[in-house]
Structure 1
Amino acid sequence: MHCQTIVLGAGIVGISTALHLQARGRKVILIDREEPGSGTSHGNAGLIERSSVIPYAFPHDLSSLLRYGLNRQPDVRYSFTHLPKIGPWLFKYWKNSSPAGLAVATQAMLPLVQRCVEEHDALIDAAGLGELVKANGWIEVYRNEDAYNNAVAGAHALKSYGLKYEILDRQQLHEREVDLSDNAVGGIHWLDPKTVSNPGGLTRGYAALFVQRGGQFIHGDARTLRQIGSEWQVDSRQGPITAPEVVVALGPQSAELFKPLGYRIPLEIKRGYHMHYRARDGAELKHSICDAQGGYVLAPMAMGIRLTTGIEFAASTDAANQIQLQRCEALARKVFPLGERVDAEPWLGRRPCLPDMRPVIGPAARHKGLWFNFGHAHHGLTLGPVTGRLLAEMMTGETPFTDPAPYRADRFN
């Protein structure tokens, strides 16, 4: 089989890339070992996060460093055995999180974040998936007055970005979410983002749109990628597939392809968990809420109320554990009347992250026809369609809607 472009990875980033290439006249084959939307695209908090204009940075203040060093926090946990391996990467992350470095990362990511909702909207409308999406934003909830007051000041500091938000005192918060407990003292309602009640379903809906428009999804093993003359070839269940161009959009598995080809890109994994719950006593959660102090999100989903955890630094192959989930669950029960668990086991996901807090989008330096689109960290669902558009514009010779230089693959060399 032959096509113009092979896209490796049927998560939100790969599918979005395939759709944008297809819209520009390319014959595209999408390849994955699993069904579309089965990986990290399935298990996230379902936020199309227009309000996250400041990337998640490594803390620099001594009190936070000491607190995390004790390894007892709900929002960040690490495996002691994994520290020697990830330590150099964490040091790079810390360096890039300086005030100057964070300012650079913020400006680099802003053009992507600003377009995230409108790029999703176009695909949602085309795929007829509007019932999965709400435009009521999400609420940042605080459990003590000092943290709440600091957050309010921080929100006001973002006014130059044109974000829409409402400051909620205790009464206003409880009017908006009547079943929150008295432990919630106030919040910030971010109005620009949209929320998705089934992120995996949204991703599969985008994949169905790609097939409906004439694209092919085929099960295959991206690890068989090889260059033969001027072509790239991948093995699939339907035989070898060749194309002059290939896109690596495999999220946390991308290193399995670029490392053997000689690219030294510092991609690492932040693990995270989710679990679904029923609500007690007829309680209802109307918005996705984030306990900013606990680092978890409670999101009303089709499968129940989904609790998603923060960051776990551990080897990708380490067995799942419930340490972080149990810590977050204990806090969540103090904020909202969660009932029994719905899932038999926690879901474990792996976020692909780079130490300068921005993805890799663009051509590989030493291999003609090889393109990258990975490293979206916590915002794969948010940024999939917009980065798919950017890469498609680059590949087809259009003028990119923003300068792609901040995301180039060779910036680490």
Structure 2
Amino acid sequence: MVGVSVALHLQRRGCATVLLDRQGPGEGASFGNGGLIQREAVYPHPFPRALAELRRIAGNRAIDVAYHPLALPGFVSPLLRYWWNSEPRRYLRAVQAYARLIATCIDEHLALARDTEAMALLRPIGWMRLYSDPRLLEAALAQAETAHRDYGINYAALDGDGLAEAEPHLLARRAGAIHWTDPLSVSDPHALTLAYAGMFAEAGGTLATGDAMTLERVGQGWRVQSATGPVEVEAVVVALGAAAVQLTRRFGYAPPYFGKRGYHLHFGLRGNAVLHRPVLDTESGFLLAPMRAGIRLTTGAEFARPDAPPSPIQLERAEPVARGLLPLAEQVEDKPWMGVRPCTPDMLPIIGPLPGQNGAWCAFGHAHQGLTLGPTTGRMLAEMMLGEAPFIDPQPYRAERF
């Protein structure tokens, strides 16, 4: 989503643009997610600091977080910096910078999708976070009111009866829910990315197959190998998600970067059961989202070596709990999908010039919000590349901060 959005904005501004990938558009992390354009997500995920929460995660038996013990040494440095940046005062600065991006996400998606087939994929239904513990619900409602006051986030509070009325096919009783009413729910995230890629091609852009790792300097410009031969350009944007630093390291830039793996699997529903909007079960840490392909069950974060084979143990833990919440039928796919969320230790994406490399730009590190922030990033970076005043101050997201 990020790369496609950058390419589309550049092409529409008159730049002859090539969008190159080893796979088709949207087949990376944009393929597998909760399908939410998260206007409410002004608070990025901080590193947990409560001792009880750390003990729970250390037990490595949770649905929302899992890790491969042998992989942990490779995460020590970025996770320590992540912990440091999650200190309350530093975290507040991250929230303020993050919120400036998030505030634009609905408008920037609609600016691309309006009057096109993509609008049918964007459902203005929001999503719900469910709570079993009334104390947790009360604390969450207090934070929701703060988000409303400080950042204009809209929500509705539901008690147990209100939740049962809104989602009558839930099998389990919950204390209540917060219905975040601003977000758009995407019925097919891959199709949305493909729709934007189609707009790019219609505007005259070129879709090419190739390996970005072949990128090299050629005089004042750049060259990359595609399936049809070399492509030479004046400027290049690195929007490779979790793989971005593998490339930028070759050009002298290696920020502390890490990936969080995630999985999803689709299920049918039994009988005439319906799920009207995505629901996240807070205590269990999984999301159930109605999609074109069925009910998508998504997991939290898994920390593993980049070359480790898929290990969807979180789905195995989540499925029986999910079946107790919703009357799920058989799974749709033969095996789960897996992708990697690209993360930075200060919880902010890297958007702007690649340090020390004229004509090279960064657009990566969006963590859980690549789908949400793709069009925002595309517009901001295109404005920067063409010498226009960016509509958001780019300073907090500059690459030089690492």
Higher mean Cα deviation, 330-339 or 135-144? 330-339
Q: Secondary structure at the match of 2:212?
A: strand
1:203 corresponds in structure 2 to 193
Structural RMSD (CA): 1.0
* One of 53, 56, 73 as aligned partner of 2:62: 73
* One of 157, 161, 172 as aligned partner of 1:167: 157
Q: Secondary structure at the match of 1:254?
A: helix
* One of 6, 10, 14 as aligned partner of 1:25: 14
* One of 186, 205, 208 as aligned partner of 1:215: 205
Aligned partner letter, 2:354: A
1:250 corresponds in structure 2 to 240
Write the distance in 2 (CA, Å) between the matches of 1:19 and 1:246.
Answer: 14
Higher mean Cα deviation, 378-387 or 336-345? 336-345
| 1:147 is the counterpart of 2:147 | no
Matches within 5 A, 1:287-366: 287-366=277-356
Higher mean Cα deviation, 318-327 or 203-212? 318-327
1:406 corresponds in structure 2 to 396
CA drift at 1:126 = 5.0
Write the distance in 2 (CA, Å) between the matches of 1:85 and 1:168.
Answer: 42
| 1:386 is the counterpart of 2:376 | yes
| 1:194 is the counterpart of 2:184 | yes
2:215 corresponds in structure 1 to 225
Write the distance in 2 (CA, Å) between the matches of 1:339 and 1:147.
Answer: 30
Write the distance in 2 (CA, Å) between the matches of 1:260 and 1:203.
Answer: 29
| 1:243-293 C-alpha deviation (Å, 9 max, x unpaired) | 110000011111221011111211210000000001122210000111122
Write the distance in 2 (CA, Å) between the matches of 1:248 and 1:402.
Answer: 20
CA drift at 1:145 = 2.1
Contact 2:77/2:256, CA 8 A, preserved across alignment: no
Higher mean Cα deviation, 178-187 or 83-92? 178-187
Higher mean Cα deviation, 253-262 or 199-208? 253-262
Write the distance in 2 (CA, Å) between the matches of 1:373 and 1:104.
Answer: 21
Contact 1:271/1:316, CA 8 A, preserved across alignment: no
2:73 corresponds in structure 1 to 84
Q: Secondary structure at the match of 2:210?
A: strand
1:117 corresponds in structure 2 to 106
| 1:132-160 C-alpha deviation (Å, 9 max, x unpaired) | 11001001111232222222222122222
Write the distance in 1 (CA, Å) between the matches of 2:3 and 2:316.
Answer: 33
Question: Is there any run of 5+ residues in structure 2 with no aligned partner, and where?
Answer: none
| 1:164-213 C-alpha deviation (Å, 9 max, x unpaired) | 11000011111110111233221000011001000000001110110011
Question: Is there any run of 5+ residues in structure 1 with no aligned partner, and where?
Answer: 1-11
Contact 1:139/1:290, CA 8 A, preserved across alignment: yes
| 1:43 is the counterpart of 2:32 | yes
Q: Any runs of at least 4 consecutive aligned residues in structure 1 with deviations exceeding 6 A, and if so which? A: none
* One of 41, 52, 58 as aligned partner of 2:47: 58
2:363 corresponds in structure 1 to 373
**TM norm structure 2:** 0.98
1:132 corresponds in structure 2 to 121
CA drift at 1:370 = 0.5
Write the distance in 1 (CA, Å) between the matches of 2:78 and 2:115.
Answer: 40
Contact 1:120/1:385, CA 8 A, preserved across alignment: yes
Contact 1:127/1:209, CA 8 A, preserved across alignment: no
Write the distance in 2 (CA, Å) between the matches of 1:235 and 1:324.
Answer: 38
Write the distance in 1 (CA, Å) between the matches of 2:137 and 2:306.
Answer: 35
Q: Secondary structure at the match of 1:192?
A: coil
**TM norm structure 1:** 0.95
| 1:332-361 C-alpha deviation (Å, 9 max, x unpaired) | 122211121111001001000000000000
Aligned partner letter, 1:104: R
